[in-house]
C-alpha cells in the first residue's frame, strides 16, 4: 500500500534527484529535508519515501512541500529503488534520513556532473546524535577524476576508499542493479562496487554533508564491539562480491575479480570477528593480512601502524585486544597514544 502527499511532480527532465528513505527517524528527518530545501539550485528535486515508519516520521515529512510517499516497510534498498522509479533525473543522491547536506553542496555537485560520470563522491563531517562534530571528515579523499584505476583496485582487492551512503551521487542507469540485490537491505553496496566499471568516478576533497553517528547506525558505528554485526558485514561483503562477479561476467571481466577470501576486507573482518568472539587470532590469517596490507600503496607510516596494531591484538590477552579493537573502530578521532592506552 502506498500513500502519497506533497506537491505535484516536477519537470520531466532534471539533472539530479535527492532521495531520502526514512524508517523511524522522526527526530532527524526534518533536518535532512530542510538541508535540501534550503539549497539555492533549482535543477534538482527532492523525493522522500517513508518506509513504513511507526514513530510519527510521516507526520514530520508531511509538514514540508515535497513529493512524499508512505509505503509498507521493505528496507532501505527497496525504498530507495521505489524513489528512483518516481523521478526521471539522470543522477541520484541517496541522503540518509539522519544525515544532512551542506549549504551550496548541490550547486557544487551539479557543476561536476556530465554523461560520462558514473559516480561522484565527497567526504562527510562526522557528528554525534546532537549534531556536534566528533571527528575529521570521512574518508580523507583527494580531488580527482578516475576512469580506470579504481576499477583495477576493485578487481585486485574488492574495495576502494568510498564515503558512507550520503556522500555519493550515482548515475541513474546504475540504480537498476538495486533490483537484483535482494540479499541486501542497504542501498549503496553493489552501486559502489560496480560504478568504476561503467564510467568515470569524480572525487571531491571538500566535505559537502554531515554523517550522524549514533547507536542506530546500520554500520554499527557508535555501538560496542558486536560479533553479530561483524558476521553480518562479512556475509554481506561476500554476497556483494558474488553479485559484482555476475555483473562483470556480462562485460567479460569476471575472471579478473579477486576471490572473496583473498581480499583485505574479508581477512581484516575475520580477525576482528575472532577477537570479538574471544578466540585467538589464527596465525596464518594474520600473516596473510599483513602481506596484503604491505602490498598496498599506502604510506609506510600507515602500513606500519596497521601491522603494529594487528600484532599487538594477536599477542595480547583477549580483554586487551577487544579494548584496542573497540577504540580503533570508534567513530571519533583516534591517536597512537589513545590506542596504546586502550590496548594496555
Q: Are 122 and 162 in contact (CB under 8 A)?
A: no
Please give the C-alpha separations between residue 70 and each of 5, 17, 33, 85, in angstroms, as whole numbers: 8, 18, 15, 14
Check the CA dihedral 223-227-230-231 and report its sign. negative
Residue recorded with cell 553479530: 228
Length of the chain equals: 344
Grid cell locating 286: 594474520
pLDDT (0 to 100) of residue 8: 47
pLDDT (0 to 100) of residue 31: 98
Residues 6+ apart with CB under 8 A from 242: 260
Cis peptide before 139 (omega within 30 of 0): yes
pLDDT (0 to 100) of residue 224: 64
Mean pLDDT check: name the lowest of 118-127, 143-152, 317-326, 327-336: 327-336
Tell me the average pLDDT of the chain.
90
Share of the chain above pLDDT 90, in %: 74
pLDDT (0 to 100) of residue 324: 84
Residues 6+ apart with CB under 8 A from 186: 76, 77, 165, 218, 236
Question: Residue 320 — very low, low, confident or very high, per pLDDT cuts 50/70/90?
Answer: confident
In whole angstroms, give the CA distance from residue 65 to residue 44.
Answer: 14
In whole angstroms, give the CA distance from residue 293 to residue 41.
Answer: 43
In whole angstroms, give the CA distance from residue 246 to residue 161.
Answer: 22
Residue recorded with cell 558476521: 231
Secondary structure class of 18 (helix, strand, coil): strand
Q: Is the pLDDT of residue 134 over 70?
A: yes
Please give the C-alpha separations between residue 174 and each of 81, 117, 314, in angstroms, as whole numbers: 11, 11, 41
Mean pLDDT check: name the lowest of 70-84, 249-263, 276-290, 315-329: 315-329
> Does 125 or 302 have the greater pLDDT score?
125
Q: Is the pLDDT of residue 1 over 60?
A: no
For the segment 250-274, the average pLDDT, to the nearest whole number, is 96
For the segment 117-143, the average pLDDT, to the nearest whole number, is 94
Q: Is the pLDDT of residue 19 over 90?
A: yes
Grid cell locating 268: 581484516
In whole angstroms, give the CA distance from residue 104 to residue 200.
Answer: 23
Candidates 111, 82, 61; CA nearest to 19 is 82
For the segment 139-143, the average pLDDT, to the nearest whole number, is 94
For the segment 74-80, the average pLDDT, to the nearest whole number, is 96
pLDDT digit string, tens, across residues 161-215: 999 999 999 999 999 999 999 999 999 899 999 999 999 999 999 999 999 987 6
pLDDT digit string, tens, across residues 35-48: 999 997 667 899 99
Amino acid at each position: 500500500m502506498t500513500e502519497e502527499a506533497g506537491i505535484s511532480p516536477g519537470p520531466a527532465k532534471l539533472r539530479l534527484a535527492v532521495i531520502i528513505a526514512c524508517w523511524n527517524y522522526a527526530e532527524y528527518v526534518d533536518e535532512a529535508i530542510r538541508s535540501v530545501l534550503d539549497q539555492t539550485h533549482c535543477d534538482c528535486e527532492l523525493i522522500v519515501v517513508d518506509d513504513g515508519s511507526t514513530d510519527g516520521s510521516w507526520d514530520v515529512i508531511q509538514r514540508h512541500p515535497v513529493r512524499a510517499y508512505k509505503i509498507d516497510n521493505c528496507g532501505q534498498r527497496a525504498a530507495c529503488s521505489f524513489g528512483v522509479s518516481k523521478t526521471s533525473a539522470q543522477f541520484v543522491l541517496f541522503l540518509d534520513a539522519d544525515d544532512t547536506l551542506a549549504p551550496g553542496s548541490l550547486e557544487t555537485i551539479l557543476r561536476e556532473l556530465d554523461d560520462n560520470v558514473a559516480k561522484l563522491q565527497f567526504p562527510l563531517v562526522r557528528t554525534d546524535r546532537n549534531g556536534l562534530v566528533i571527528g575529521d571528515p570521512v574518508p580523507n579523499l583527494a580531488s580527482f577524476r578516475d576512469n580506470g584505476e579504481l576499477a583495477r583496485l576493485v578487481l585486485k582487492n574488492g574495495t576502494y576508499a568510498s564515503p558512507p551512503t550520503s556522500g555519493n551521487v550515482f548515475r541513474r542507469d546504475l540504480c537498476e542493479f538495486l533490483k537484483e540485490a535482494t540479499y541486501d537491505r542497504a542501498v549503496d553496496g553493489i552501486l559502489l562496487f560496480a560504478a568504476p566499471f561503467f564510467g568515470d568516478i569524480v572525487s571531491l576533497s571538500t566535505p559537502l554533508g554531515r554523517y550522524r553517528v549514533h547507536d542506530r547506525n546500520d554500520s554499527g558505528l557508535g555501538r560496542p564491539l558486536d560479533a553479530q554485526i561483524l558476521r553480518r558485514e562479512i556475509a554481506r561483503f561476500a554476497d556483494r562480491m558474488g553479485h559484482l562477479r555476475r555483473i562483470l561476467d556480462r562485460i567479460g571481466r569476471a575472471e579478473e575479480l579477486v576471490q572473496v577470501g583473498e581480499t583485505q576486507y574479508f581477512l581484516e573482518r575475520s580477525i576482528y570477528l575472532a577477537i570479538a568472539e574471544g578466540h585467538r587470532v589464527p596465525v596464518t590469517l594474520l600473516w596473510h593480512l599483513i602481506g596484503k596490507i604491505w602490498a598496498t600503496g599506502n604510506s609506510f607510516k600507515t602500513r606500519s601502524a596497521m601491522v603494529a596494531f594487528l600484532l599487538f591484538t594477536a599477542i595480547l590477552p583477549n580483554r586487551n585486544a577487544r579494548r584496542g579493537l573497540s577504540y580503533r573502530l570508534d567513530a571519533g578521532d583516534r591517536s597512537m597514544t589513545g590506542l596504546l592506552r586502550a590496548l594496555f
